[in-house]
Amino acid sequence: MPSIVSLSKIAEFNEQEVKIRGWVRRHRSKGKLQFLTIRDGAGELQAILSKADMDEEQFKAASHLTQESSIEVTGTVRADERAPGGYELDVSHIRIIHLAEEFPIQPKEHGTGFLMDHRHLWLRSSRQQAILKIRHEIVKACRDFFDDRDFVLMDTPIFTPNACEGTTTLFQTQYFEEKAFLTQSGQLYNEATAAAFGKVYCFGPTFRAEKSKTRRHLMEFWMVEPEVAFAELPDVMELAEDFLVMIVQRVLEKRQEELKVLERDVSKLEAVTPPFPRLTYRESIERLQKNGSAIQGGDDFGAEDETILSNEHQKPLIVHRYPSAIKAFYMEADPEQPDLALCMDVLAPEGYGEIIGGGQRVHDYEKLASRLKEHQLSEDAFKWYLDLRRYGSVPHAGFGMGIERAVAWICGLDHVRETIPFPRMLNRLYP
Ligand code: 4AD
Ligand code: MG
């Protein structure tokens, strides 16, 4: 019995008989020959059915194969320079598992709305597969980066009693008799775990009820967040730089094929080397105004402003020391300029905008208590968080990277909607 072979391993089976299970991407008949492009999720292969070499019934049944029908074929692998992956299959047997109805997504242009409505089927296209395999590689690289540096993985909760990134973007839900919110970030919990383990990271889904309909916003996105005890702002800037360099390198090294499918200009990724340019918020404002932005000192950057700034560099740009007034309650103030926060955002090049946000946290009890008051956050709900400032409090810092924005940038996509299998967007909860 020939063994079942994954198409990613087909080169190891040249001139051997194998069995392949997959779906028909294309079917073409030409006299006594039929040509099938089979995909199995791991790769693609052209299979050739010759009437002379096969059971007549099977050959005839195969002639009715439709796009996305599922099949099992047995045949001999043959190297062929002209074939797309370098190999073809001479089929001896074919078993039709399911004859597919007419597939809604044809090899032609479809509108985005139509494709999103058929997301469950759109995932079968080679482009979507390339993107999601790169996502997988990026997720793995994130884990490897922190694991190799002895960070401990901490899974922070999804149901939370309080806000992390502002009360306006919370998804509220019922938790028996209580109100609960879906987490916006694992950071606050990781400040507790960092005091227990030193270096930690969390990696999970986060939720924001942001009424933003942009190419960068999802309601549900995945975030990887390191948190480090005894670290200060410059330490996490360096960590973020090393981190981004590593994941881009990993994708370049392991996902050449997928980058080719996406026609990604890899020279843009090869340019991502240390050190990254750094700019203060104040310098950024000057630069934006020079570029014709109407932004005023004290304003938060709009998506347009981030695009302008990140278009100016070949590498990610680190912007630091934003006004505390436009940042979250937990940010440490710059002792030299107390109205500024010891925080940073990393803006991806090519106009992709913010992919990382982070900085140093307030570690003094009194300062934090007064911040909570200023932000009208209940001291009761944050009692545990204040406790961290009572028992061996140390300076600490961290950041969060949104996976979807990183994938959009590395893949060179116009929109984050293609970076996750089933995106949750302002007007989309289906499929
Ligand atoms: O800048 P943010 O809000 O920072 C935090 O949540 C911190 N608590 C992280 C930390 O220091 N541990 O979000 C971090 C990143 C952004 O830079 C962006 O990449 C991503 O999360 N992000 C989103 N991605 C997709 N859709 C959205 N609506 C996003 N909001 C933030
Ligand atoms: Mg941010």
Share of the chain above pLDDT 70, in %: 100
- Residue 85 — pLDDT band, cuts 50, 70, 90? confident
Cβ atoms of residues 299 and 291 within 8 Å: no
pLDDT attached to residue 135: 99
Crossing angle of helices 403-411 and 126-148, in 10° steps, is 120
pLDDT over threshold 90, residue 64: yes
Kindly give the distance from the C-alpha atom of residue 77 to the centroid of ligand 2, in angstroms, as a whole number: 52
Which residues fall within 8 angstroms of residue 233, CB to CB, at 6 or more apart? 320, 332, 342, 343, 344, 359, 360, 397
- Torsion sign (Cα): 206, 211, 216, 219: positive
Sequence-distant (≥ 6) Cβ neighbours of residue 297 within 8 angstroms = 282, 285
How far apart CA 80 and CA 169 sit, in angstroms, is 56
In degrees to the nearest 10, what's the CA dihedral of 168, 190, 395, 247?
-90
What is the DSSP code (8-state) at residue 4?
Answer: B
Mean pLDDT of 282-307: 94
Whether 163 has a pLDDT exceeding 90, the answer reads: no
Neighbouring residues of the ion ligand 2, judged by CB less than 5 Å = 357
Q: Whose CA is nearest to atom 29 of ligand 1?
A: 217
Q: Tokens for 276, please give them.
A: 């990254």
Rounded to an integer, the average pLDDT of 47-70 is 97
| 52, two tokens | 């002379």
Nearest Cα residue to 70 out of 44, 43, 98: 98
Provide the pLDDT confidence category of residue 34 given band limits of 50, 70 and 90: very high
Q: How many CB atoms lie within 10 A of CB 96?
A: 17
pLDDT tens-digit series, residues 122-159: 999 999 999 999 999 999 999 999 999 999 999 999 99
Region of residue 41 (phi > 0: left; psi between -120 and 50: alpha; otherwise: beta): left
- Of ligand 1's atoms, which has the minimum distance to the CA of residue 225? 12
- Kindly state if the Cβ of 218 falls inside 6 Å of ligand 1: yes
Asked whether 405 lines ligand 1 (CB < 6 A), one says yes
Give the model's pLDDT for residue 205. Answer: 98
In angstroms, rounded to a whole number, what is the distance separating the alpha carbons of residues 239 and 421?
Answer: 29
**Is the pLDDT reported for residue 87 higher than 90?**
yes
Over 90: is that where the pLDDT of 164 sits? no
Q: How many helices (H) does the chain have, and how many strands (E)?
A: 13, 18
The Å distance, Cα 272 to ligand 2 centre, comes to 21
Distance (Å) from CA 352 to ligand 2 centroid: 13
- Ligand 1 site, residue 191, Cβ cutoff 6 A: no
261 CB under 6 A from ligand 1? no
pLDDT of 327 above 90: yes
Sort strands 278-280 and 317-320 into parallel, antiparallel or unpaired: parallel
What residue owns the CA closest to ligand 1's atom 21? Answer: 402
CB distance 17 to ligand 1 below 6 Å: no
User: Has residue 216 got a pLDDT over 90?
Assistant: yes
**Does the Cβ of 324 fall within 6 Å of ligand 1?**
no
Average pLDDT over residues 31-54: 97
Q: What is the mean pLDDT of residues 107-111?
A: 91
**With pLDDT > 90 as the criterion, what percentage of the chain qualifies?**
93
Quickly count: other Cβ atoms within 10 Å of residue 299's Cβ: 14
Ligand that lies nearest to the alpha carbon of residue 164, given by its number in the listed order: 1
Environment class of 69 (CB within 10 Å of its CB; exposed 0-12, middle 13-18, buried 19+): buried
Which pLDDT value is given to residue 7?
97
Amino acid at 418: E
| Atom number in ligand 1 closest to CA 208 | 28
- How far is ligand 1, taken at its centre, from the CA of residue 217, in Å? 10
Ligand 1 atom index nearest CA of 219 = 28
Q: In the predicted model, is pLDDT for residue 1 greater than 90?
A: no
Question: How many residues appear in the chain?
Answer: 431
Label residue 84 by pLDDT band (50, 70, 90).
confident
pLDDT for res 213: 84
Phi, psi dihedrals of residue 285, rounded to the nearest 5°: -60, -45
Identify the residue with better confidence: 213 or 314. 314
For ligand 1, the distance from its centroid to the CA atom of residue 354, given in whole angstroms, is 8
Q: Is the distance from the beta carbon of residue 225 to the nearest atom of ligand 1 less than 6 Å?
A: yes
* Spatial separation of the C-alpha atoms in residues 324 and 234, rounded to whole Å: 18
Rounded distance between C-alpha atoms, residue 90 and residue 77, angstroms: 7
List the beta bridge partners of residue 70. 23, 98
pLDDT at site 283? 97
Which pLDDT score is estimated for 125?
96
CA distance 201 to 9: 34
pLDDT for the residue numbered 269: 98
Whether 165 is in the pocket of ligand 1, judged by its Cβ within 6 Å, is: yes
Indicate whether 212 pLDDT > 90: no
Give the Cα separation of 340 and 332 in Å (integer): 9
Q: Which two tokens stand for residue 312?
A: 């100016």
> Around 363, how many Cα atoms within 13 Å sit in the side-chain half-sphere?
21
The closest-lying atom of ligand 1 relative to the alpha carbon of residue 399 is 11
pLDDT at residue 305, as a whole number: 94
pLDDT at position 303: 87
pLDDT band at 362 (very low <50, low <70, confident <90, very high): very high
Q: Ligand 1 mean position to 191 CA, how many Å?
A: 16
In angstroms, the CA 5 to CA 19 distance is: 6
Q: Are 396 and 199 in contact (CB under 8 A)?
A: no
**Degrees to nearest 5, angle at CA 165 with 325 and 321:** 40
Q: Which two tokens stand for residue 301?
A: 């950057």
